[in-house]
């Protein structure tokens, strides 16, 4: 679908979803490494060296939870190689966050890096990277919202899953609130009172944000009563904070 393609390299399409994902990573790296310079127990080099661990954990976890959640819809009758097809999106944030944190913990403990200081450094950058990633979701047409008659409604092409009906641009709602969360956490980092404070603020802030955003989602199944899988995880994340 042409609207999903940013450009081509040697005849191979490069999708906006991947472009925005990459920009989010770069923005997170840059802001996180600068933030590390404000601390005495985690260096910029240590922060940057964590990236392979973070990326592997995030990509594996995000894809795994998507495949598990949408197995019947997208994978049950497809070749098994479709599991590794990232071109059309198919990443679940909470899966990536949980697995990414796990892999990062291995790196931190292995290298004796203060865990809570590191996560305090990373939390604002995570919100920023997620905001850019959600813009990619909007362009890609995944994670779309419920039908709406509001002036905020957006129309995807007729061949999209929404069949041209106006839907909430919930991806942009979440992107905007993630940017706000980034700004708040960035400010709080410079005035934090104890290690782990910014991490806790992130869990609480994003948990509330995501729970509300899910109310506007039109592409997610409800797994318990009227709650989606992400809402249940968001509640757990809030309690963790």
Each of the 241 residues of the chain gets a pLDDT tens digit; together they read 577 888 888 888 888 888 998 999 999 999 999 999 999 899 999 999 999 999 999 989 988 887 887 777 666 777 777 777 766 567 788 888 889 999 999 999 999 999 999 999 999 999 999 999 999 999 988 888 899 999 999 998 888 888 889 999 999 999 999 999 999 999 999 999 999 999 999 999 998 898 888 888 876 666 555 667 677 776 677 667 5
Helix spans in 70-216 (H): 93-110, 115-140, 170-189, 197-213
In the three-class reduction of DSSP (H, G, I as helix; E, B as strand; rest coil), residue 64 is classed as helix
Report the pLDDT value the prediction gives residue 89, as an integer from 0 to 100. 60
Domain ranges in the chain are 2-240
Report the pLDDT value the prediction gives residue 88, as an integer from 0 to 100. 59
Q: Which residue has the tokens 């709406």?
A: 148
Residue-averaged pLDDT of the chain: 87
* Distance of alpha carbon 62 from alpha carbon 173, whole angstroms: 21
In the three-class reduction of DSSP (H, G, I as helix; E, B as strand; rest coil), residue 166 is classed as coil
Residue in 151, 27, 142, 149 with CA at minimum distance from that of residue 87 = 142
Q: What is the pLDDT of residues 111-152, one digit of tens each?
A: 999 999 999 999 999 999 999 999 999 998 888 889 999 999
Report the pLDDT value the prediction gives residue 225, as an integer from 0 to 100. 54
Q: What is the pLDDT of residues 168-192, one digit of tens each?
A: 999 999 999 999 999 999 999 999 9
Residue in 58, 51, 18 with CA at minimum distance from that of residue 33 = 51
The tokens describing 22, both together, are: 């990459």
* Distance of alpha carbon 130 from alpha carbon 128, whole angstroms: 5
* Residues ≥6 apart with Cβ < 8 Å to 6: 14, 15, 16, 19
């Amino acid at each position: 679908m042409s609207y999903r393609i940013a450009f081509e390299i040697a005849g191979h399409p490069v999708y906006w979803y991947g472009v925005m994902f990459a920009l989010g990573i770069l923005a997170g790296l840059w802001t996180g490494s600068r933030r590390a310079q404000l601390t005495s127990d985690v260096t910029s080099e240590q922060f940057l060296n964590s990236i392979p661990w973070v990326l592997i954990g995030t990509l594996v976890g995000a894809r795994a939870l998507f495949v598990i959640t949408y197995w019947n819809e997208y994978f049950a009758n497809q070749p098994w190689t479709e599991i590794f097809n990232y071109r059309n999106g198919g990443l679940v944030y909470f899966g990536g966050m949980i697995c990414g944190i796990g892999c990062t913990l291995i790196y931190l403990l292995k290298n004796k890096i203060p865990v809570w200081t590191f996560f305090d450094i990373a939390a604002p950058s995570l919100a920023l990277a997620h905001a850019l990633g959600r813009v990619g979701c909007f362009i890609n047409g995944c994670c779309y919202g419920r039908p709406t008659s509001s002036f905020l409604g957006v129309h995807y092409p007729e061949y999209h899953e929404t069949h041209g009906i106006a839907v909430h641009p919930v991806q942009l709602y979440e992107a905007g609130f993630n940017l706000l969360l980034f700004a708040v956490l960035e400010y709080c980092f410079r005035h934090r009172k104890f290690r782990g404070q910014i991490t806790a603020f992130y869990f609480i802030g994003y948990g509330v944000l995501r729970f509300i955003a899910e109310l506007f989602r039109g592409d997610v199944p409800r797994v318990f009563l009227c709650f989606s899988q992400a809402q249940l995880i968001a509640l757990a994340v809030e309690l963790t904070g």
